[in-house]
Amino acid sequence: MITQEEINALRHKVIAPQKMLIDGQWVDASDGGTVDVVSPIDGKKLTTLAAATVEDVDRAVLAARKVFERGDWSRMAPQGRMKIMHKIADLIADNAKEMAVLGARDNGTEIGMAIKAEPGSAAGTFRFYAEAIDKVYGEIAPTADNQLALIHREPVGVVGAIVPWNFPMMIGAWKIAPALAAGNSVVLKPSEAASLNLLRLAEICQEAGLPDGVLNVITGSGSMAGEAMGLHHDIDIIGFTGSGGVGRRLMDYAARSNMKRLYLELGGKSPNIIFADAADLDHAAKVSAAGIFRNSGEVCVAGSRILVERTIHDAFVEKLRAETAKYKVGDPLDLGNNIGAITTAQQLEGDLAFVERAQKEGGTLVTGGKQLNAGQGYYMEPTIFTDIKPNMDLFQNEVFGPVVSVTPFDTEEEAVALANGTDFGLAAGVWTSNLSRAHRMVRNIKSGVVHVNTYGGAGNNVPLAGMKQSGNGADKSLHAIEKYENLKTAWIQL
């Protein structure tokens, strides 16, 4: 836990202009360029980031390749890599309060969520993959008596990780930790809207003894540094979390360069389905509100489409409205608030535009829909719409903000059709006391994770994998390590 006094002691700490980490050295951009870091708490400048150039990306990739080929990390004994990754986890935990406050100043996540979902989650992720290092084996395939077939797992080489601004430490750890566990080197590109905690993580990795060049961090714009990574001929894999538009561009860059492997998590429009036989509608409403409004709705798996059986639709909407009224929006570093700031002014503008379009298309605004504290940061009321039909923009497209639609259904088959009726397939929720129905819904919903009688909270031991235009590959679990390995067969005549 963290106290308000501890938060207040950290909230005004001066943040020096930030450098990049390349080959163990903290450096400025080669042309001296910078990007301003603006806090969503008050709209004021916090510091600057180095704005990486193509030359800087080249330097980072070269450093990663050199140390990989040299074997400082890629051929280190498993016990040595385990020790360093456990040390990274320990140092994250030791500095969790500082990092949570720093992250909230940078991207606006409410501090109660930030301390658990950012340093707390990242420390757990590094521990999980540290323990996996000596527990993921190669294979011996069955053959004739005079033959031996071995299947080796080898690190791929240089991994590019491009991380969004909503949970940079959590999502960064999902990519960095399994890539390191497999023995790879990493070039990390955080979002320019939330780089500070990942730069701090890089310092921790150095302190823990990670060899120079194994983790490099470049900062700046996606249009410069991200594109340079996508087009780079010596990056073997890119793991990306972000928008579908950028994912498509990365696919084009991969085709135009070395056909690097891409693993893309591209967001969702996740259905949260409430049947009339749900055991506790009050609890379902409480969890459903948290499933869309925490972190101002800036959550990839947010349950942004609530589908409710028609016989309980009006009653559930009222319960949801009552739960929403309990949320207090404001300064994310005030423990009395449970919804923080929208990360950028641009994102807030887009969220409000969705509200305007939904009303023009015939949606009914139940509550919210307005900007708060104009001129004093980026804040928005949690917002509920009803009368949202499947052909409407709000039903089909990801807002990535605190806006939820509620749509009625009559039958289980209609619920499945509505749930699957978008281009996305990242997450879903089902509330029912009918065990058979729960299993049918899990089977029939096209989604990488289906929550039953809950929403959110799945652990590191299970994958988060997208279907349809929500992406490919999986973050989390032992399956994530597979993304960062090559399989090599040794076919031996005895």
Give the residue from 271, 288, 246, 294 showing the smallest Cα distance to 449.
271
DSSP per position, 215-256 = EEE--S-IIIIIHHHHH-TT--EEEEES-HHHHHHHHHHHHH
CB distance 230 to 218 below 8 Å? no
Decide if 265 is catalytic.
Answer: yes
DSSP per position, 94-105 = HTHHHHHHHHHH
Q: Centre a 10 Å sphere on the Cβ of residue 365 and count the other Cβ atoms it contains.
A: 15
Ranges of beta strands (E only) in 74-174 are 139-141, 147-155, 158-163
Instruction: Return d(Cα 53, Cα 333) in angstroms, integer.
Output: 34
Angle CA(275)–CA(278)–CA(284) in degrees, nearest 5?
95
| Enclosing H/E stretch for 415 | helix 412-419
Q: Active site residue: 192, 265, 398, 485, which one? A: 265
487 CB-contact burial (10 Å; exposed 0-12 / middle 13-18 / buried 19+):
exposed
Strand partners, 488: 152
Alpha carbon of 43 to those of 166, 314, 467: distances in Å? Answer: 17, 39, 36
- Residue with the two structure tokens 């033959």: 147
Residues near 189 by beta carbon (within 8 Å), at least 6 away in sequence:
52, 160, 161, 162, 163, 217, 218, 219, 222, 225, 226, 229
Q: What is the token pair recorded at 296?
A: 């101002």
Q: What is the DSSP letter of 471?
A: B
Q: What is the token pair recorded at 113?
A: 């969520």
Three-class SS state of 110: coil
Give the residue from 3, 33, 2 showing the smallest Cα distance to 17.
33
Instruction: Return d(Cα 92, Cα 126) in angstroms, integer.
Output: 9
Annotated catalytic residues are: 265
